């Protein structure tokens, strides 16, 4: 949740290395995830179509922010890139197995 009591809480008093910036980006990504979850819960909690449309648009912008932050993290930390790629490959392998399993049941 926001910490408005201290307007300088997010200030960093030094230049960060790429490793430190990547660590900071993890917190930024967590903040985006939290915002997405909150907007989604508000969307589910109302029947107002205008509110749903506006909140959905804002939620989707937060998802784009996540993509931007993750792309920046991949640039800053090549090891992070390797982990992301390994995770993507594992999911793709699982999806392929499930696809073959479903095809075999038909």
18-32 confidence digits (pLDDT tens): 989 999 999 999 999
pLDDT of 88: 94
C-alpha–C-alpha distance, residues 39 and 55, integer Å: 6
pLDDT of 56: 98
Both tokens of residue 93?
A: 């392998």
Q: Could you tell me the maximum CA-CA distance found in the chain, to the nearest angstrom?
A: 62
C-alpha–C-alpha distance, residues 63 and 86, integer Å: 22
pTM summary value: 0.78
pLDDT tens-digit map of 29-57: 999 999 999 999 999 999 999 999 999 99
């Amino acid at each position: 949740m926001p910490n408005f009591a201290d307007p300088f809480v997010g200030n960093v008093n030094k230049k960060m290395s790429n490793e430190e910036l990547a660590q900071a980006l993890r917190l930024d990504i967590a903040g985006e995830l939290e915002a997405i979850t909150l907007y989604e819960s508000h969307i589910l909690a109302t029947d107002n179509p205008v509110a749903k449309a506006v909140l959905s648009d804002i939620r989707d912008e937060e998802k784009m922010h996540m993509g931007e932050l993750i792309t920046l993290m991949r640039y800053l930390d090549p090891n992070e890139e390797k982990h992301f790629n390994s995770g993507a490959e594992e999911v793709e392998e699982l999806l392929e197995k499930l696809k073959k399993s479903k095809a075999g049941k038909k």
